[in-house]
Copies of this chain bind each other. A is one copy, B any other.
Amino acid sequence: MRDWGGRLPTGDEAEILEAIRRRAHLPVGRGLALGIGDDCAIYRPRGAREDLLFTTDLLLEDVHFRRQTHPPEALGHKALARGLSDIAAMGGVPRFCLLSLAAGAGADRRWIDRFYDGLFRLARATGAPLVGGDLARAAQTACDIVVCGAVPRGTALRRDGARAGHAIYVSGRLGGSALGLETGTGKAWARHLRPQPRLALGVFLRERIGASAAMDLSDGISLDLHRMALASGLEAAIEPPPRFPGASPGQALHGGEDYELLFTAGPRITVPARFETIPLTRIGVMRRGQPGAVYLSGQPLPALGYDHFRGSR
């Protein structure tokens, strides 16, 4: 998420990222299948049957969490979950992770142990062993997760693969994380604290559905769908997405950190109503038009999702 979503255009963040992307000068033919501009970078090792996916995600005190309200186990879980969600978005299977942790003033030895409790639990459950990282002291806690995943060569789901006429789907119900952040209680708060990366769903979309595009919902569907539409050179027309119980329409449209999957599929593909216990809902269609434009029930939908460099939320 916010993984240098390449051509995302709103606000200062997009502008900075675009400038970085333009300057990155990726060499061709050295094993790099995809650089800056999607949930993960794709690397093709020489002679290997698999493509490797790489993503990094920051989790910062007083930006993404507050020490007073977020238990360390939940932060360890969430740090890894954010990276795994990017792997899920491309249909990948996790291979390993690395974690860099700058432990802030309030993060004592016990805090650090509990942080790793949460991280190791999710790492074991998802097959993403921790193989390295870095550790330092700092004024505020900051961590950066690196996750490597794998897909059979050439099969990674990307955000630029949607075509005109393809249906738009979303997994789960949206706005739960934003609601939880507001209320601090109940299932919504649990959802905010311990998001579940949709790894099995991602593999299902790649292997069984043949989704044409996919990405994870980290910054709110208004912004993330805009990014997908822009990457695919299309505009998107949707109806209101399913809402997490109690979430407002605004939370469902603009709230971040749901970590559900947004995907598209060709018009002849049958997408089931559920995958395991997760509802899969058709919310609209991609069509020719202004690349990146999103319409909700026929009205333009502003991309109000989370942008670090706009400073609003």
Q: Are B56 and A132 in contact (CB under 8 A)?
A: yes
Cα of A20 to Cα of B30 in the assembled complex, Å: 35
**Which one of B43, B134, B146 lies within 8 Å of A95 (CB-CB)?**
B43
Cα of A32 to Cα of B96 in the assembled complex, Å: 9
A253 surroundings in chain B (CB, below 8 A): none
A113 within 8 A of B: yes
A248 within 8 A of B: no
What is the predominant secondary structure among interface residues of chain A facing chain B? Answer: mixed
A246 within 8 A of B: no
- What's the minimum C-beta distance from A138 to chain B, rounded to whole angstroms? 5
Q: Are A13 and B135 in contact (CB under 8 A)?
A: yes
Q: Are A308 and B23 in contact (CB under 8 A)?
A: no
A46 surroundings in chain B (CB, below 8 A): 48-50
Q: Which 4 A-B pairs have the closest CB atoms?
A: A144-B144, A41-B131, A41-B132, A48-B48
Q: A43-B131, A47-B48, A138-B142 are in contact. List 20 more A-B contacts (CB 8 A).
A: A2-B136, A12-B109, A13-B135, A16-B109, A20-B116, A25-B129, A35-B129, A36-B131, A41-B98, A45-B48, A45-B50, A47-B47, A55-B132, A56-B99, A58-B142, A60-B142, A63-B102, A63-B136, A63-B137, A137-B309
